[in-house]
Amino acid sequence: MRPLTLRLHLLVPALALVLPILAQAQSVDPTGPIQTELRDPSVPRALRNVKPAPATQGAALQAQVERKLRESFDAADVAGAGALTREQAQAAGLGVVAKNFDRIDIAGTGKVTFEDVKRYLRSRGAKF
């Protein structure tokens, strides 16, 4: 079999818009959907009519990434100081900061902010 290489990201702008589209009160399938209770993947009935979340990509997706990482940082920053020492990061389970502390704390202040973390991750190729 010969391999095909496909650049899927080229398709996304079109499909990501199309796939999550909501219909107005879609009818029940007249041919009778198969019962797939408890079959992976599935969700309880009460959740089957929730409004689907939009499929983010590009800048919107990267904004989510930044928010998630910022929330991790803020959760570790229990004192709300806006900055963490290596020990504080370690104690809070923020190992990614504690382990790379010297590379993040390029100014050598002994404390790092989320902006420092962001700069460090971006320097390694992070897209957010």
Q: Looking only at residues 8 through 67 of this chain, which bind other proteins when binding is defined by CB under 8 A? A: 8-12, 14-16, 18-23, 26, 29-36, 38-44, 47-58, 61-62, 64-65
Kindly tell me which residue out of 3, 80, 107, 108 binds other proteins, with binding defined by CB under 8 A.
3
Kindly tell me which residue out of 82, 95, 109, 115 binds other proteins, with binding defined by CB under 8 A.
95
Q: Least Å distance between CB 45 and other proteins?
A: 9
Q: For residue 112, list its beta bridge partners.
A: 84
Long-range CB contacts for residues 113-117, cutoff 8 Å, separation at least 24 = 113/82, 113/83, 114/69, 114/70, 114/73, 114/74, 114/82, 117/69, 117/73
C-beta closer to other proteins: residue 44 or 108: 44
